[in-house]
Amino acid sequence: MTPSDVKATLSFSDGSPTMDLPIYKGSIGPDVIDIRKLYAQTGKFTYDPGFLSTASCNSTITYIDGDKGELLYRGYPIEQLAENCDYLETCYLLLKGELPNATQKTDFTKLVTNHTMVNEQMQFFLRGFRRDAHPMAIMTGLVGAMSAFYHDSTDIHNAEHRDIAAIRLIAKMPTLVAMAYKYTVGQPYIYPKNDLSYAGNFMRMMFATPCEEYEPNEVLVRAMDRIFILHADHEQNASTSTVRLCGSSGTNPFAAIAAGVACLWGPAHGGANEAALNMLEDVQRMGGVEKIGDFIKQVKDKNSNVKLMGFGHRVYKNYDPRAKLMRETCHEVLDALGLHNDPIFKLAMALEKIALEDDYFVSRKLYPNVDFYSGIVQRAIGIPVTLFTAIFALARTVGWIAQLNEMIGDPEYKIGRPRQLFSGSTPRNVAPIAQRR
């Protein structure tokens, strides 16, 4: 980061000493005001619940311009990556900072492929869950449990441990998600096959049975791989910040990623794709396109607590570029499956059109985000709604790892420990219980 010629000066109306605060510039995006010495010099904290104006780190991985609707992974526009690369190339890019050449891609793909099996003991964890357990409950448990198997790669300060833990997590997430699915439908687990692509392997583990092979449809496999690419990383979102804060204690990478899985589950974050599809199905049950007006009235009524799931974003105040790409994929998949008259897709398109024209949403800069269309694509592929967020976690694992590794590799990093504004009781004495009212 580059010191700016401009300084920030903090002055107080009570005549307390002013303080110069350095400003730093990144390569693109907003400058930052360095407040690291603020408390020591003024005895005051900054106050920013939800961190709307706070940069938590200096990162080189992903850049988002919310006003332009721009998303770059290591400088490459998401549109170009979705068009020209596959997910494992994107993983290599996020982890190492550069796209792989042909040899590097072959070697990386082979390395990941050869780590796709999980320890046979892992299957016994699933037996403790009810068959109707939510896949994200299972995944939170399974990812954390991985740290019980890989004592040779849990020292986060050891670069070799970090590398092998990254490969293991990226390689095994599809196997674990497919196991979580098979467990809930009472079918036997399907082992990975080393002659399949990453996305093709996942879809076979999901949909093959011992009685019947699953021949992946290349359009659907490409769509699945694109879903992985679009969800791979997204700057300092809630789950990534969770992984960074968790990892800052020095805990092992599996535990830190499990914390990210838990955070992503929330409906305001990664759980929004499940919530968005449930919302569309609810409106369809209410009467579909004809009833959109009544639904929109509910959304505008603050007392209803009804949100337009899959719309709005903390950063994007323009169309989420991933939503545009997801929408294209939607058309491709529904056409490939002959579902272009799918009522849910038609409803989604009608809802999007209304939201993009209605001042309530336009004034609040509420545009479709990645979750609005990803659910429709996954539903068309045959993925159950409850598994959508687990697939988001699968895809985001590489982003979490890249961000975690970047933090651990930063010489300035220390354990994260925010402070607070305290508004509770001032010191008081404990009265004997007989004297308490």
Residues found near ligand SDX in the complex (CB under 6 A): 234, 237-238, 268-270, 272, 299, 307-315, 364, 366, 369-371
- Structure token digits, residue 261: 């899985």
Could you tell me which of 138, 198, 119, 118 has the C-alpha nearest to residue 398? 198
Tell me the C-alpha distance between 208 and 210, whole Å. Answer: 7
Could you tell me which of 376, 360, 350 has the C-alpha nearest to residue 299? 360
Could you tell me which of 222, 205, 146, 208 has the C-alpha nearest to residue 401? 146
Nearer to ligand SDX, 126 or 390 (CB): 390
Of 225, 234, 313, 320, the active-site residue reads 313
Could you tell me which of 89, 86, 87, 64 has the C-alpha nearest to residue 75? 64
Q: How far is the CB of 333 from ligand SDX (least distance, A)?
A: 21
Nearer to ligand SDX, 141 or 310 (CB): 310
Q: Could you give the strand order of the β-sheet that contains 19-25, starting from the edge strand earlier in sequence?
A: 2-10, 19-25, 32-33
Nearer to ligand SDX, 206 or 309 (CB): 309
With b for 16 or more beta-carbon neighbours within 10 A and e for fewer, the 59-80 pattern comes to bebbbbbbeebbbbbbebebee
Q: How far is the CB of 410 from ligand SDX (least distance, A)?
A: 21
Q: How far is the CB of 312 from ligand SDX (least distance, A)?
A: 2
Helix pair angle (370-381, 321-336), 10° resolution = 20
Q: How far is the CB of 77 from ligand SDX (least distance, A)?
A: 16
Judge whether 147 and 98 are in contact, CB under 8 Å.
no
Judge whether 161 and 152 are in contact, CB under 8 Å.
yes
Tell me the C-alpha distance between 41 and 29, whole Å. Answer: 28
| Residue number closest to ligand SDX, CB atom | 312
- Structure token digits, residue 217: 């449809």
Nearer to ligand SDX, 63 or 214 (CB): 63
Burial class (CB in 10 A: 0-12, 13-18, 19+), 58: middle
Is 48 an active-site residue?
no
Is 371 an active-site residue?
yes
Which residues are registered as beta bridge partners of 21? 8
Nearer to ligand SDX, 226 or 313 (CB): 313
The answer to whether the Cα torsion of 316, 321, 324, 328 is positive or negative is negative
Nearer to ligand SDX, 228 or 311 (CB): 311
Tell me the C-alpha distance between 20 and 29, whole Å. Answer: 22
Q: How far is the CB of 116 from ligand SDX (least distance, A)?
A: 25
Nearer to ligand SDX, 73 or 92 (CB): 73
Could you tell me which of 262, 269, 245, 239 has the C-alpha nearest to residue 57? 245
Q: How far is the CB of 119 from ligand SDX (least distance, A)?
A: 30
Q: How far is the CB of 50 from ligand SDX (least distance, A)?
A: 7
What amino acid positions are annotated as catalytic residues? Answer: 313, 371
